[in-house]
Amino acid sequence: MNKNIHTFLGCDANYEESEMVLFGAPYDGTTSYRPGTRFASAAIRNESYGIETFSPYQEKDLTDYQIFDGGDLELPFGDPVRPLSLIEEFTANVLKDGKFPLMIGGEHLVTLGAMRTVVKQYPDVHIIHFDAHADLREDYLGVKLSHATVMRRCHELVGDNKIYQFGIRSGDREEFLFGNEHVTTCRFDFHTLDAVVEELERKQVPVYLTVDLDVLDPSVFPGTGTPEAGGATFTQLFDALQKVTRLKVVAADMNELSPIYDQSGASTALACKLLREMMLMLMK
Amino acid sequence: MNKNIHTFLGCDANYEESEMVLFGAPYDGTTSYRPGTRFASAAIRNESYGIETFSPYQEKDLTDYQIFDGGDLELPFGDPVRPLSLIEEFTANVLKDGKFPLMIGGEHLVTLGAMRTVVKQYPDVHIIHFDAHADLREDYLGVKLSHATVMRRCHELVGDNKIYQFGIRSGDREEFLFGNEHVTTCRFDFHTLDAVVEELERKQVPVYLTVDLDVLDPSVFPGTGTPEAGGATFTQLFDALQKVTRLKVVAADMNELSPIYDQSGASTALACKLLREMMLMLMK
Amino acid sequence: MNKNIHTFLGCDANYEESEMVLFGAPYDGTTSYRPGTRFASAAIRNESYGIETFSPYQEKDLTDYQIFDGGDLELPFGDPVRPLSLIEEFTANVLKDGKFPLMIGGEHLVTLGAMRTVVKQYPDVHIIHFDAHADLREDYLGVKLSHATVMRRCHELVGDNKIYQFGIRSGDREEFLFGNEHVTTCRFDFHTLDAVVEELERKQVPVYLTVDLDVLDPSVFPGTGTPEAGGATFTQLFDALQKVTRLKVVAADMNELSPIYDQSGASTALACKLLREMMLMLMK
Amino acid sequence: MNKNIHTFLGCDANYEESEMVLFGAPYDGTTSYRPGTRFASAAIRNESYGIETFSPYQEKDLTDYQIFDGGDLELPFGDPVRPLSLIEEFTANVLKDGKFPLMIGGEHLVTLGAMRTVVKQYPDVHIIHFDAHADLREDYLGVKLSHATVMRRCHELVGDNKIYQFGIRSGDREEFLFGNEHVTTCRFDFHTLDAVVEELERKQVPVYLTVDLDVLDPSVFPGTGTPEAGGATFTQLFDALQKVTRLKVVAADMNELSPIYDQSGASTALACKLLREMMLMLMK
Amino acid sequence: MNKNIHTFLGCDANYEESEMVLFGAPYDGTTSYRPGTRFASAAIRNESYGIETFSPYQEKDLTDYQIFDGGDLELPFGDPVRPLSLIEEFTANVLKDGKFPLMIGGEHLVTLGAMRTVVKQYPDVHIIHFDAHADLREDYLGVKLSHATVMRRCHELVGDNKIYQFGIRSGDREEFLFGNEHVTTCRFDFHTLDAVVEELERKQVPVYLTVDLDVLDPSVFPGTGTPEAGGATFTQLFDALQKVTRLKVVAADMNELSPIYDQSGASTALACKLLREMMLMLMK
Amino acid sequence: MNKNIHTFLGCDANYEESEMVLFGAPYDGTTSYRPGTRFASAAIRNESYGIETFSPYQEKDLTDYQIFDGGDLELPFGDPVRPLSLIEEFTANVLKDGKFPLMIGGEHLVTLGAMRTVVKQYPDVHIIHFDAHADLREDYLGVKLSHATVMRRCHELVGDNKIYQFGIRSGDREEFLFGNEHVTTCRFDFHTLDAVVEELERKQVPVYLTVDLDVLDPSVFPGTGTPEAGGATFTQLFDALQKVTRLKVVAADMNELSPIYDQSGASTALACKLLREMMLMLMK
């Protein structure tokens, strides 16, 4: 008898044979409003057995692909310096081994850990950022490393005009002013996505895809710390991901599920389904 | 003073004078993921007093019709053989008395009990099936009688090309392959419904209507065991029902409400409203 | 050190310098189905710190306006006579001081308290009423003052053809019959709003705006006592408010949030956001 | 087929043959803090099927007694005047027919309705009052009829030294001062109960028993509007009821369950069990 | 990198080296009232990381023992015949390999599966049964295999006077009558436990220990399907287990946690702690 | 009209006239298991209006004392260095002004901030520590500043034999070994408290009192991140506080309420009541 293995549905490959590595980064230490995203990756793994391995959207099946689920990183809470280092190190190893890193947050700050190593390997990396919030603050109550500043820190890594935001419908005035100068922001929805994808496809640049699930409308995704009305439907997000994954995506994450705030389980179920679809899109 | 009568809002007729018989089939013994649909019919009866008898959509009022609420069947849990027999027997009596049987599940397997007697009285019966899930498995963990196999069992009763599925967005690969051969499946939504209704209207065939409420998007209906993103709005489902009920519907059911998973009560309230509308549509 | 001040986000003005006065009317004593709106104003104040003062929709910021938050009126429960008097008196004072009263309910009956003084100051006042329910009953179980009769009582104040209802999708037959004769009802949505706004703009009449948040679909707003499927999206309601606030609105309210029924907090968060947007629209 | 009868477990008698009449008084219109007791009687009826008719404590079975469940009175909300009249009238009829009235609240104010008729038939009635709160205010925010004043109003009916309170651990200073003069208060627990029962037994006086379930510790009964730490265990309350029911109890009530606040259902289950035990104690 | 292993805290041994085998039997198909125990073993595994491996009660540490966590059996729902066979087979293998089987239910019926093989290996096995409910029905709605009949079925396996029940405070009259004849029942608490343990110690008989967690008072353990007031405290149950485990216990189970009904998590946390203590008691 | 003041019930004094200063420290950034104590102080303030100012236990009334409620400190999340400094600074000011600081956490780490300044002013300060957990780890996942290490850090401030722990029933082996050498630990309950109080009374030393509310049993206090069975009742804790407050307590805190985990509100209500009692005990 073997020890009890616990992975996301259908992610049964060994590390060596795998093309994609799924892992959890259960850190939410800087969350300023309502914490709980630390529980996301475990919840997604548990609840994934409520969905199927087969996608009737893409006519593909997870069982036809080699995906390794590395479980969750063991991250201390409090000061984010060490969690970010641990994420960076893990992601670097996955990239070094020629595999695709797919991270489940945690709060959005975890993206910075992954980006720190991605930008080393792909200096010209562009970021596609789906979110309700701009996350472009210089600091938050004097703190530089925060879920609310993560895109500002990423901007420091990649430079001007490399970040494309979609679905943004919240931020303070300064964030929008900064955004106007330094990043490309599509407010409220995805209406400029076709043009952006076309441009990046032409440029052949590597892309990091970060999906803050609160880009979705709270009606379809109430299970998040800062629900923000006026967001995308599941189908709109699905379609947007279809477009983005035509690009040369080199790493990705999905974050900000806070399962405890949606006791119906519908938010976690949606995250599971979306993760399945993202994996099937990204595995060419 | 009379004993305390408890019926769905406005369903005050005696059995003898009634044209339609509403009854609950509170069985969820084979539910493989999250149980709870056993509580649906009681919750619907309780919460129906939060809505009105009048429909501003149809300009009709429940108080103008003769509907009998027979309460809930007393069904044992565990092995589904006996619950299905009890449902079959009750439905047979209602049909024999020339009344319309309208069943509230329970898990979707309860449909099989009703269909067993409907197909005897109406050998040419066709099934209109609204659902997120194909329910076409041959067996589930070796078990033949399951919520996940109910349409496969119904197919054995009615034969090829008599089942029309709408809204289907989940299933394993084999279910979709089987479906391609033996039933008519409209994935994701109702875009082929007009054509199907037109065809069945021309054929003048009797129709059994089974509504798995998870055909709705989890945003409007989170109170179900396996919420599946990407479903219908209330208005889309309402419009679809308007079309189907132009046909010669001889029996119907509504199932898979699991009230406990939606503590806002919105799912149960929607089921109450939809049940009122279905009754008003079906009472010609 | 000062005492702990607690206001809605960004409403930091003193009474004297303010142009708008926000206040809570936490009364739900006649709620016949599920109570809880008494907690709305406190919840909105608490949770407002999860949103921003800046609106990317209107490119305006609450910090640029002078709004005073007067806290909650201290209202007894039970008989509504005294609560309505206290609301009337407070609103009268605000109007007398030349400020805009913006009330947070509470159940919808609180509107009557405000309207009693508004109609004295503005005898030609028209009412724009967003709601799922007609609220036009003559009485409810023999009671004249009820959330279910509030628009009937308002009709007695303003007379025929001065009330414009939108989004109405529930009521008994008599309410709709009365409505056909005495008020202007747009069922289900806002499709006649453009015409109404144009007409009232031409007439230059003062307008009282009352927003029962259950005009929204329960998917986006489950946190209310009587969720009624088939309602508006956030964007549809936002657009409707944009139109109405072009008129000469002299007072307004937002009511029927019942925070306890939406444990995700999304309903309260939506109410906070909508309140910010309404304030920014109404502050010219 | 008969209409769907819905009673408390084992209360299947007709009115005529019954010795005891159970009925619900679902009014909570004056509840100042957290409403919800209006749902108690329906919840108790629904959930009673989770317990047995047999009591291993008393070796008695509900099926051996004739109890009629009259369902719930239809009470309007808001002003308590009419609800109290309806309760008074119903109780009067039951007493007139020589049956024992057992009322399920609702908020504690419902006791006043019953007491108004009990005191007419039994002018020397004494009240045994189990509660966490003294309920002896003269008024509450200027309102005389309130859950917080109910024992003060009862005192006006029965006069000095006829009310015996137990378990009281909350009240304002004035209530305790009034209590010291006019009623007999046992703070925190039941330590004086033996003496009181002995005295009343000797006096042979009729007794009205009112049980506010928040006399229980919130650990065993969290499902109430104002949980007050430091209360009784189930066994302590059971033992106290055993003692009181040796007296000539002529009517009784059990109130202040608010099922929504205990999502585990344990509070409602306890109320069901206690109601069974009370009925078996009171049916000599 | 290894696949993600998921075990109960501190149960890290391989099967071969282990002395005790922990496994889940997530079946609740016959639960007649409120289902949900199927989620217990997964919840216990997940939440065990909130406690410590060290017991300050026993001054022992889980890390000093060799315990293997075999994960959950994959059990179909519906008819209990096959689930019971799978449990029997697994338990038989563990016993054959000379290890101690410790099963986490699921509903109480799972005990029957284990007992079927235990009684073969230990024909003189006695059962110590902690429970709120007698579970001695002959059948439930005509069904023989049910959580409500499990001890009756066990009695058929072991014969008269081999079952010792403690804490029993619910059952119908027939169960108690049967119990008086055929088993030894200690109602309400553990007051006869010392004598029973002394007797069984003298007899040197093998013992099967089955702990239905609803023996606990709902105040300390609300997370169960049928909470029954008047039960044991944690300390009382802990002390009772200390006594029983002095006997020659050959197999054991812990069942009826239904995590969904206690959203505080306290019930699951208690189950984790109790499981740790039971393991440390049973590992001599 | 004044701005909306929001304080704990009855704490209406100005800072200058006050003898005691209540303030919140809503930080839970290092919580390793289930966060949420950041919401405690706001919840306590909100819900305090459900209790009375008068204590029937002590025959005292909050309105007779001068207590200032300073609201909540504005603390960033993530790295705890700055939050601890802000707490230290605030506490220092209160002490400097000759007032009694009473802090509401937050996680238990906040105690360290207060103790840093208390030990400066009172070098001989002793700590009375009520808790379920020893909190004596040297580090937690390599992190020195953590809720799980707070008493170890306090030990570094005050030295050996100055910390007295009560109610401790969880910790790893190393914590208990350290405790045996350096602090005085009373496991499980308060049985050594009388002796300790007598000793400290004799020594006349200043005392810092820190109450981790999880010292209570989860039955009476489920609203905390790590519920640990086998704790104190409300009355036991109340009695223990009565004893401790006979000493020369110079500052105190109450922490680890996590209101979200107890949806009944009973935990928050208990915290409010306990806070009232503590204030009345500490105000001589």
pLDDT per residue as tens, chain F (284 positions): 788 889 999 999 999 999 999 999 999 999 988 999 999 999 999 999 999 999 999 999 999 999 999 999 999 999 999 999 999 999 999 999 999 999 999 999 999 999 999 999 999 999 999 999 999 999 988 899 999 999 999 999 999 999 999 999 999 999 999 999 999 999 999 999 999 999 999 999 999 999 999 999 999 999 999 999 999 999 999 999 999 999 999 999 999 999 999 999 999 999 999 999 999 999 97
User: CA–CA separation, F46 vs F280, rounded Å?
Assistant: 20
Tell me: the pLDDT tens digits for A149-195?
A: 999 999 999 999 999 999 999 999 999 999 999 999 999 999 999 99
Q: Does A57 touch chain C (CB under 8 A)?
A: no
Size of interface B-D (CB pairs under 8 A): 47
Q: What pLDDT is recorded for position E214?
A: 98
What average pLDDT score do residues D36-45 get?
97
User: CA–CA separation, C239 vs C278, rounded Å?
Assistant: 11
What average pLDDT score do residues C151-161 get?
98
pLDDT for residue C3 is more than 90: no
Of B50, B220, B235, the CB nearest to C226: B50
Tell me: the pLDDT tens digits for B241-276?
A: 999 999 999 999 999 999 999 999 999 999 999 999
- Return the partners of chain E (3 or more C-beta pairs < 8 Å): A, B, D, F
Degrees to nearest 5, angle at CA D135 with D133 and D140: 120
Structure tokens at C46: 């608490």
User: Is the Cβ pair E227, D264 closer than 8 Å?
Assistant: yes
Strands (E), D9-162: 20-25, 54-55, 60-61, 67-72, 100-105, 126-130
Q: Find out whether E275 and E69 touch, Cβ atoms under 8 Å.
A: no
Tell me: the pLDDT tens digits for B76-111?
A: 999 999 999 999 999 999 999 999 999 999 999 999
Tell me: the pLDDT tens digits for E137-161?
A: 999 888 999 999 999 999 999 999 9
Q: Find out whether B110 and B87 touch, Cβ atoms under 8 Å.
A: yes
pLDDT for residue C4 is more than 90: no
Beta-bridge partner residues of A55: A60
CA F32 to chain E, closest CA, distance in angstroms equals 9
Q: What pLDDT is recorded for position B3?
A: 86
The sign of the dihedral angle between the CA atoms of E230, E234, E240, E245 is positive
Tell me: the pLDDT tens digits for C194-213?
A: 999 999 999 999 999 999 99
Of C168, C188, C229, the CB nearest to B220: C229
Q: With beta carbons under 8 A apart, name residues in chain D contacting C84.
A: none
Q: Angle, to 10 degrees, between the axis of helix D110-121 and the axis of helix D81-96?
A: 40
Nearest CA in chain E to A67: E3
Q: Identify the band that residue D232 occupies on the pLDDT scale cut at 50, 70 and 90.
A: very high
Tell me: the pLDDT tens digits for E214-256?
A: 999 999 999 999 999 999 999 999 999 999 999 999 999 999 9
> Can you say which residues of B are annotated as belonging to the binding site for Mn(2+)?
108, 131, 133, 135, 212, 214
Q: With beta carbons under 8 A apart, name residues in chain E contacting B137.
A: none
Tell me: the pLDDT tens digits for E14-30?
A: 999 999 999 999 999 99
pLDDT for residue A257 is more than 80: yes
3-state secondary structure of D54: strand
What average pLDDT score do residues C276-283 get?
97
Tell me: the pLDDT tens digits for A127-151?
A: 999 999 999 999 988 899 999 999 9
* Interface list for B 151-190 with E (CB within 8 A): none
Give percent of chain B above pLDDT 90.
95
Nearest CA in chain D to E229: D270
pLDDT for residue D11 is more than 80: yes
Structure tokens at F242: 């009565």
What average pLDDT score do residues C273-282 get?
98
User: Is the Cβ pair D269, E226 closer than 8 Å?
Assistant: yes
Q: What pLDDT is recorded for position C2?
A: 81
Phi, psi of D260 (to 5 degrees): -65, -25
Q: What pLDDT is recorded for position C1?
A: 79
CA B250 to chain D, closest CA, distance in angstroms equals 21
CA E42 to chain D, closest CA, distance in angstroms equals 19
Nearest CA in chain B to E27: B32
Q: What pLDDT is recorded for position E224?
A: 97
Q: Does A276 touch chain B (CB under 8 A)?
A: no
Size of interface C-F (CB pairs under 8 A): 46
DSSP string, D176-204: HHHHHHHSEEEESS-TTHHHHHHHHHHHT
Of B4, B15, B70, the CB nearest to D70: B4
Q: Does D260 touch chain E (CB under 8 A)?
A: no
pLDDT for residue A4 is more than 90: no
Q: What pLDDT is recorded for position E92?
A: 98
Chain E contact probe: residue of D58, D217, D264 with most E CBs at under 10 A: D264
Of A52, A266, A274, the CB nearest to B222: A266
User: Is the Cβ pair F1, C15 closer than 8 Å?
Assistant: yes
A131 a known binding residue? Answer: yes
Q: Does B284 touch chain D (CB under 8 A)?
A: no
Nearest CA in chain D to F219: D219
pLDDT for residue E32 is more than 90: no
How many Cα neighbours within 13 Å face the side chain of D74? 6
Tell me: the pLDDT tens digits for A22-53?
A: 999 999 999 988 999 999 999 999 999 999 99
Size of interface B-E (CB pairs under 8 A): 66
Degrees to nearest 5, angle at CA D12 with D11 and D15: 95
> Can you say which residues of F are annotated as belonging to the binding site for Mn(2+)?
108, 131, 133, 135, 212, 214
Tell me: the pLDDT tens digits for E193-217?
A: 999 999 999 999 999 999 999 999 9
Structure tokens at F102: 């009473």
pTM over 0.90: yes
Q: Does B86 touch chain E (CB under 8 A)?
A: no
Q: Does D3 touch chain B (CB under 8 A)?
A: yes
Of B50, B217, B266, the CB nearest to C222: B266
DSSP string, C175-243: HHHHHHHHSEEEESS-TTHHHHHHHHHHHT-EEEEEEEGGGB-TTT---SSS--SS-B-HHHHHHHHHH
Q: With beta carbons under 8 A apart, name residues in chain F contacting C7.
A: 3-4
Of C54, C262, C265, the CB nearest to A171: C54
Of E56, E234, E270, the CB nearest to F176: E56
Tell me: the pLDDT tens digits for D95-153?
A: 999 999 999 999 999 999 999 999 999 999 999 999 999 999 999 888 999 999 999 99
Chain F contact probe: residue of A31, A38, A77 with most F CBs at under 10 A: A77
Q: Does C259 touch chain D (CB under 8 A)?
A: no
List Cβ neighbours of D181 (8 Å cut-off, separation of 6 or more).
D160
Q: What pLDDT is recorded for position E284?
A: 77
Structure tokens at B263: 């503590």
Chain D contact probe: residue of E173, E213, E224, E263 with most D CBs at under 10 A: E173
User: CA–CA separation, E28 vs D47, rounded Å?
Assistant: 20
A97 a known binding residue? Answer: no
The one-letter amino acid at D251? A
Domains of chain B plus CATH, in order, are 20-282 (3.40.800.10)
CA E247 to chain A, closest CA, distance in angstroms equals 29
What average pLDDT score do residues D203-230 get?
98
User: Is the Cβ pair C4, F69 closer than 8 Å?
Assistant: yes
> Can you say which residues of F are annotated as belonging to the binding site?
108, 131, 133, 135, 212, 214
E212 a known binding residue? Answer: yes
